[in-house]
């Protein structure tokens, strides 16, 4: 496939790039600029390989927000709609449940509280299904139940988001913003 650049609406797309894993020229690069209300302009980047299935995505703020920390108490079903901007440099922590850590495999994305909890729930379900120890399976099962109850507005939890680069946010008046 030949190298090709095009602009799709606001998106810039480059096809036929060399994949960093399988080295085939089947990688598609995308860059999109978006305005996130009450946060500002962001750039969304993604890489997808049609050869090996490699995927990487990230979010970068157009403005320098400085290192940030947000805290949010999720206590209703309406809170599931709260917008989350999470860069690959961010850590999301939910005490007694788990965390989403930065690193090479970490992706950036724009979602909401429900999306973050669903991602975490899916990971815990995988751990539950693969656990050999009965107590580990039971612990994972209880975490899945807790996340489900929170998503249904039947239980509360606290969530923190920390980003040393400031490319992330919890976009809500309920979120308490502080310094990292």
* Domain CATH for 87: 2.60.120.1040
pLDDT of 10 = 62
Lookup result for tokens 């400085």: 66
Q: Are residues 47 and 73 in the same domain?
A: no
Say what the pLDDT of residue 3 is. Answer: 39
CATH code of 39's domain: 2.20.25
Nearest to 60 by CA among 100, 37, 83, 88: 88
Which domain-ending residue is among 27, 44, 61? 61
Alpha-carbon distance of 42 to 40, in angstroms, equals: 6
Instruction: Output the six-digit token pair for 60.
Output: 């970068």
Query: Per residue in 136-147, pLDDT tens?
Result: 999 999 999 999
Say whether both 41 and 102 belong to one domain: no
- Residue 20's contacts (CB-CB under 8 Å, 6 or more residues apart) are 27, 54
Number of domains in the chain: 2
Same domain as 165, residue 118:
yes
Q: Are residues 41 and 85 in the same domain?
A: no
CB 16 within 8 A of CB 25: yes
Our CA dihedral for 60, 33, 22, 88, rounded to 10 degrees, sits at: 20
Q: Which residues contact 101 (CB under 8 A, 6 or more apart)?
A: 91
- Supply the range of the domain harboring residue 88: 68-178
Say what the pLDDT of residue 70 is: 97
Tens of pLDDT, residues 2-42: 333 333 346 899 999 999 999 999 999 999 998 888 788 99
């Amino acid at each position: 496939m030949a190298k090709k650049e095009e602009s799709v609406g606001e998106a810039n797309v480059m096809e036929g790039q060399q994949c960093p894993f399988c080295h085939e020229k089947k990688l598609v690069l995308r860059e999109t600029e978006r305005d996130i209300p009450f946060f500002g302009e962001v750039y969304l980047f993604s890489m997808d390989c049609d050869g090996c299935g490699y995927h990487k995505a990230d979010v970068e703020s157009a403005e320098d927000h400085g290192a940030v920390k947000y805290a949010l108490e999720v206590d209703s079903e309406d809170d599931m709609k709260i917008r989350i901007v999470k860069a690959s440099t961010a850590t999301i922590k939910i005490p007694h449940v788990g965390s989403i850590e930065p690193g090479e495999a970490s992706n950036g994305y724009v979602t909401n509280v429900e999306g973050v909890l669903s991602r975490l729930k899916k990971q815990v379900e995988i751990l539950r299904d693969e656990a050999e120890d009965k107590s580990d399976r039971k612990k994972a099962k209880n975490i899945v139940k807790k996340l489900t109850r929170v998503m249904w507005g039947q239980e509360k939890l606290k969530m923190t988001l920390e980003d040393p680069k400031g490319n992330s946010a919890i976009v809500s008046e309920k979120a308490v913003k502080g310094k990292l």
